Amino acid sequence: MPDIDYDSYARDGHHLLPGLLADKDQRRAVEFFDAFDAADEVPDSYEAEYDKGDADGTEGGPRRLRKLRRLLWNDPELWGPLLVRSGVTDIARRLIGDGAAVVFHAAFLKPARVGTEVTLHQDQALWTYQYPKAFSVWFALTPVSPANGGLFGSPGSHAGGHIPHRERPHYRWHPGLDAAEDGLREPVQFELDPGDAVMWDRYFAHGSAANTSPHDRRGMVVVFADASDPEFRAKDSFPLADLQDLRETP
């Protein structure tokens, strides 16, 4: 069971989880995403987003993967045991209970030189459904620092719940926040080694910068919510009990 100070998590809305992912699983994940990034085609079921260029590289160079979605639903035999081994399922049971379920599992791949920013946002503000008690665990799969786009978040930004988001000029992906305009604390930068993770509350405001470095910055996020809540609705829901049942891969 990962060591978590639940009081500081409740106060700040985030918590560092050093060394959550074993080296072997971190390498396995990087190889998986690098292979997809190098492939000509990605199955539609991953709902891929790209940062630059096009398929044949005629416009702005070869396209690079920005985001992959629905990892656990696409490959439960790979990701299920890896998530269980990391201990995130224990955190979900502790924070939510046996009724917890995975509702999102995605990779944010921020490729070298062309990886674009993720504007400051609260996850719950961008979701179609309300996800009671939801929290995210974001795994660093490479070093993560401001030098490669990093990851940052505003401590305490979850405390007041939903903050109205606005469309942002020149940012195409989703509405966002501005720490100063929205009265949030100056975001802190997370400096992470491969295998480290950060967990955060569904209302914790976070984002990342463009990656202008020569190195890819790879991250993977899993989101748990309370599927036992009578109000629970989801596009995808993978119950904790089904995760635990998945056969271990060698």
Ligand X SMILES: O=C(O)CCC(=O)C(=O)O
- From 28, 73, 27, select the one nearest 46 (Cα to Cα): 73
- From 204, 226, 206, 198, select the one nearest 133 (Cα to Cα): 226
Compare residues 106 and 250 and give the one whose CB is closer to ligand X: 106
- How big is the CA angle at 167 (ends 163 and 173), to the nearest 5 degrees? 105
Compare residues 214 and 250 and give the one whose CB is closer to ligand X: 214
In the bound complex, what is the minimum distance in angstroms from residue 247's beta carbon to ligand X? 28
In the bound complex, what is the minimum distance in angstroms from residue 67's beta carbon to ligand X? 8
In the bound complex, what is the minimum distance in angstroms from residue 117's beta carbon to ligand X? 8
Q: For residue 27, give both structure tokens.
A: 């390498």
**Under DSSP, is residue 224 helix (H, G, I), strand (E, B) or coil?**
strand
Backbone angles phi, psi at 17, to 5 degrees: -130, 80
- The residue number whose beta carbon is nearest to ligand X equals 108
Contacts with ligand X by CB under 6 A lie at 108, 110, 118, 123, 136, 138, 151, 206, 208, 219, 221
For 146: left if phi > 0, alpha if psi spans -120 to 50, otherwise beta; the answer is alpha
Compare residues 138 and 224 and give the one whose CB is closer to ligand X: 138
Compare residues 174 and 241 and give the one whose CB is closer to ligand X: 174
User: How long a stretch of residues is the chain?
Assistant: 250
In the bound complex, what is the minimum distance in angstroms from residue 208's beta carbon to ligand X? 3
**Residue 69 neighbours by CB under 8 Å, 6+ apart:** 46, 47, 48, 104, 105, 106
In the bound complex, what is the minimum distance in angstroms from residue 3's beta carbon to ligand X? 22
Q: For residue 76, give both structure tokens.
A: 């439960």
Compare residues 30 and 228 and give the one whose CB is closer to ligand X: 30
